[in-house]
Structure 1
Amino acid sequence: DDAGTTLRGFLASRGHHADIGGRTPGSMPPFATTLEEEGVVIDDMKLVDAGVFQEEALRAVLSGAAYPARNPDECVADLKAQLAANEAGIAAFRAMVDQYGWPTVAAYIAHVMNNAEASVRRAIGRLRDGSWDYRMDDGARLMVAIRVDRAAGTATIDFTGTAPQHKGNFNAPPAVTRAAVLYVFRCLVDDEIPLNEGCLRPLTIIIPAGSFLNPAPGAAVVAGNTEVSQAVTAALLGALGVVASAQATMNNLLFGNARHQYYETICGGAGAGPDFDGCDAVHTHMTNTRMTDPEVLELRYPVRVETFEIRRGSGGAGRHRGGDGVRRRLRFLEPMTVTILASRRTVPPFGMDGGAPGAAGRQWVERAEVGGEVRIEVMGGRDQATIAAGDSVVIETPGGGGYGNP
């Protein structure tokens, strides 16, 4: 409060930084096995102390790690932008309290959360028990069982049976799994409600320690927020029987060198449902993001977008078809390190109720040879390649699963 004696809440901003160190540009090394290989590990530190931005201390942290940030100036600028966003939020919150008074604001915070809780309880009343055995590309099992108590309006989401911690980076901290659960149950609510913690009150979430959904401290986790979150979402929707799998990956593409670092996620097909076809070429579920416009990308980076089109026929067949993925070809004008971190490359997105799976994703490098010949080098779903000027990378993203017998 104004007297500085009562904590009324926290305001935070979360940003995805282009590079925070790590083994490869873009800070998503596909073969990382420890957290520090994925970037600078920052213990709790004051970014602002007594109103003073601690830039010197911050730069020391960014440059002093085993795999330091490649562009600390950009990191500092991005963090200043996040601080500015926080200040704008604080100002807006204070203006609201000044206008309505704290008791009214506090009461409406409670109303919003209570309404979200009631909305989720009503949605649970329409559900039934279900389970899903979701297989990752490497064969690891993501197990989930949903037990519903309609009378109480509660549900238990139990991930017991999920495979042990991944040796690489396909591990997700429990907060990521909670976020996926929150997202799925919010999707089941018909009412127009803001996303908030009240949605989780009727839910009990069981995440076994030592699994790849609850790894030990220091484990590599860079694929957790991107790939594992999509897998959890697909498994939950499968267990509930409401929709076929979307592409279930973010198709993380990163490229960079000493001067440039860039990261994008690439859209694909959405899953079909009992009364609708899946959408083509969209970001789905846990990756509701936009891509950089081609004009901006080509202006700021030594790259050309040669192809960006719908991958026709990649959606799964069914009474309702899954959405199609996309094909994206980038040609590089400078040597680069290119990294791909993606899923659904060996196990395709599942169909539902007799619907066919969508097509799996794939990617390759086209090497520009002397005399105009092109040499193809296939890349895996977790892979990196050294690119020469004139080479291209092509990515075909997965389609969504179909719903119902064709």
Structure 2
Amino acid sequence: ERLDFSCAVFDAQGHLVANAPHVPVHLGAMGEAVRALITSHGEHLASGQVYLDNHPAHGGSHLPDVTAISPVFVPRQPRPAFFVATRGHHADIGGVTPGSMSPLSRRLDQEGVVLDRLLAVDDDHLRESALRAALGAGPFPARNLPERLSDLAAQIAANRHGALVLQALAARHGLTEVHAYTRHVQANAAHCIRGALSALLAGRDGLGGTFTDALDDGTPIAVTLRIDAGEQPPDTCRLSVDFTGSGDRHPGAFNAPRAVVRAALLYVLRCLVPDHIPLNEGCLWPVDLHIPPGSLLDPPPDAAVAAGNVETSQRVVDVLLGALGLAAASQGTMNNVILGFANAQYYETLGGGSGATVFADGADAVQVHMTNTRITDPEVLEQRLPGLLLRSFTIRRRSGGDGHQRGGDGLVREYQLLAPAVLTLVTQRRLRAPFGLAGGAAGQPGRNLLVRAGNSQILPPVGVWQLQAGDVLSIETPGGGGYGRRLAQGHPQASR
């Protein structure tokens, strides 16, 4: 119901060609996972195989996001002609807390089971024993194994369908022509990005600047951008992106794998283009990217990353758009709510306000930027989790920042516990408000509120709590920042 999964097609080198309109933080990172498989297993790839990987060092986002990768062969070709991959967020993959999203983790192995290019299907046969052994390994094995196997089977089936469609396409048009068009799609994306960069320059030889924001604990996220026209704009325009000045490895789980930062950049670049083009590797051809090794944006392989994928990625997008001067901060968080009951685990992310732009007000109560998931319907939520009651789900009026263009409003989602549960919250923008831009006002920060026996308690942005039957949890999500100073009285944006 939440659609927290993504499907994509890759060329023979593992570069993204096209994708379904799913989750940006998945799509921009999956190519690194495919290329890591080619590098390590290139000589052993065969038709009828599916590999599973969630390791952040191989292009993974965080451990609950498991990627299924299939090489696609066509007749008379000794090597894969394409790759197809799916990435899905699983309700649990192990770890110290139910839902595998503990913000208190210090090491990757505390966040769940690590699948390192595991061969799950060989010669079209599921290696169920090997899969069960992998999911049950280590000090914090995956919970609810039957559900995990069913969800992985769905990913494998999706890969199978994608492979069959690609093989049929190659049979109909010829592999040479299909390969040529995969290249055309990427080259067109690069051309569109260069055109967008040229428009930002507006006749200048160069444009650049540094923009910095921070997580709620003060960890800085900094970026310096430079757009150069080259000798023959727009075809020679290039963008330099440097994250020097960002914080060192985070001691907790807010490290974002390099692939996630790359995904955030790819998303921002795609947003610059008004044309209907698929998100693909060509968007990055005109870009030079530097991420300081060992920082929280390129952490060591053993670093905890559960929160970096969902929270730090949002901050990366905000600073990129801020540096370009195009949009105020959006809610800057996915508002992750994870509940572990006796026999079930549940995870959802909540929308909020999007930042205003030079062109328009922000949108109210929407998933923004690196997430593109739905919210679970109340009926489905309560049917599958009889220990939970949804009391209210409303827009948080007047939480967006004022300005010439107003920031979007956040939302309020209120749950009542009917049975004990372990609550994990991974949220941001509770202590630092979403910034306004060009004189616009900041949006309202979010708030996490627990009511027990009539007594209210504000919960911190991240943490793990044991909830009791009767507890009420209220999540108020941030509004987006405003853009520009509000005009004189009577301006049409003065009221909503």
Answer yes or no: same fold by TM over 0.5. Answer: yes
In the TM superposition, what is the alpha-carbon distance from 1:46 to its structure 2 partner? 0.7
Which of 284, 297, 304 is 2:389 aligned to? 304
Q: What is the SS of the residue equivalent to 1:122?
A: helix
Counterpart residue number, 1:260: 344
Which of 262, 268, 271 is 1:187 aligned to? 271
Which of 101, 113, 118 is 2:191 aligned to? 118
Counterpart residue number, 1:200: 284
In the TM superposition, what is the alpha-carbon distance from 1:338 to its structure 2 partner? 0.8
Counterpart residue number, 1:225: 309
**Pair 1:351-2:436 in alignment:** yes
State the distance in 2 between where 1:85 and 1:204 align. Answer: 34
**Pair 1:390-2:467 in alignment:** no
Superposed structure 1 runs of 4+ greater than 2 Å apart: none
Counterpart residue number, 1:22: 95
CA distances 1:283-305 after superposition (whole Å, capped 9, x unpaired): 11101110111111111102111
State the distance in 1 between where 2:253 and 2:141 align. Answer: 19
Q: Structure 1-normalised TM-score?
A: 0.97
Q: Which amino acid aligns with 1:342?
A: T
In the TM superposition, what is the alpha-carbon distance from 1:322 to its structure 2 partner? 0.5
Q: Which structure 2 residues correspond to residues 119-158 of structure 1 after superposition, within 5 A?
A: 119-127=192-200, 128-151=207-230, 152-158=236-242
Q: Which amino acid aligns with 1:220?
A: A
State the distance in 1 between where 2:117 and 2:352 align. Answer: 37
Q: What is the SS of the residue equivalent to 1:360?
A: coil
In the TM superposition, what is the alpha-carbon distance from 1:257 to its structure 2 partner? 2.4
Counterpart residue number, 1:244: 328
Q: Which amino acid aligns with 1:271?
A: G
CA distances 1:1-57 after superposition (whole Å, capped 9, x unpaired): 223513212111000000000111110012010111111112222101222211111
The farther-off stretch of 3-12 and 228-237 is 3-12
Q: What is the SS of the residue equivalent to 2:199?
A: coil
Number of equivalenced pairs = 401
CA distances 1:249-302 after superposition (whole Å, capped 9, x unpaired): 100000012301000000000111113111110011101110111111111102
Q: Which amino acid aligns with 1:48?
A: V
**Pair 1:100-2:173 in alignment:** yes
In the TM superposition, what is the alpha-carbon distance from 1:199 to its structure 2 partner? 0.5
- Retained in 1: the 8 A contact 2:91–2:345? yes
Q: Which amino acid aligns with 1:359?
A: Q
State the distance in 2 between where 1:53 and 1:378 align. Answer: 48
**Pair 1:214-2:294 in alignment:** no
Q: What is the SS of the residue equivalent to 1:155?
A: strand
- Retained in 1: the 8 A contact 2:220–2:246? yes
**Pair 1:365-2:450 in alignment:** yes
What's the C-alpha RMSD, in Å, of the aligned pairs?
1.0
Q: Which amino acid aligns with 2:258?
A: P
Which of 350, 360, 371 is 1:276 aligned to? 360
- Retained in 2: the 8 A contact 1:131–1:240? no
- Retained in 1: the 8 A contact 2:424–2:463? yes
Q: What is the SS of the residue equivalent to 1:223?
A: helix
Counterpart residue number, 2:152: 79
Percent identical across equivalent pairs?
Answer: 49
CA distances 1:324-362 after superposition (whole Å, capped 9, x unpaired): 000110111110001110111111000001000000011
Which of 104, 109, 120 is 1:36 aligned to? 109
Q: Structure 2-normalised TM-score?
A: 0.80
State the distance in 2 between where 1:155 and 1:320 align. Answer: 28
